[in-house]
Amino acid sequence: MRITFNAKIIKIYDSTLRGNKFEIQPILFEHENKNYYLEAVGMYSHLTNGFNENDFVEVTADINSYLSKENKYWTNVNVVDIKNLDKKIEEDPKNDLPF
């Protein structure tokens, strides 16, 4: 399943290699006053190039879940796209009408 949400980049961590196979780029986002730690993996690990902390972005992530050999469910949420919003995210604009 694929989800898209608007967020603010709080922190872009240094990328790391996992098992000498693929690069992991951890990113901390703020969405609706909550922080979410997600990773861009493999071919998506360079998505943060050109972005800075405190940028407002649109994030697309894939959610994948599977049953392991030990009969446990595992769920991965990985970033697959980041787009610049160029402006601050507006949260619930106030209505000036009296009703």
What's the pTM value of the predicted model, to 2 decimals? 0.80
Cβ atoms < 10 Å from Cβ of 10: 14
pLDDT of res. 23: 94
Q: What is the pLDDT of residue 67?
A: 94
pLDDT > 80? residue 89: no
- Given a cut of 50, is residue 19 above it in pLDDT? yes
Phi, psi of 42 (to 5 degrees): 60, -125
pLDDT tens column, 32-83: 999 999 999 999 999 999 999 999 999 999 999 999 999 999 999 999 999 9
CA distance 67 to 44: 24
**CB half-sphere exposure, 56, CA atoms < 13 A:** 9
Domains of the chain: 2-84 (2.40.50.140)
pLDDT at position 58 is: 96
Provide CB contacts within 8 A for 32, sequence distance 6+: 91
CA angle (65, 10, 17) in 5-degree steps: 55
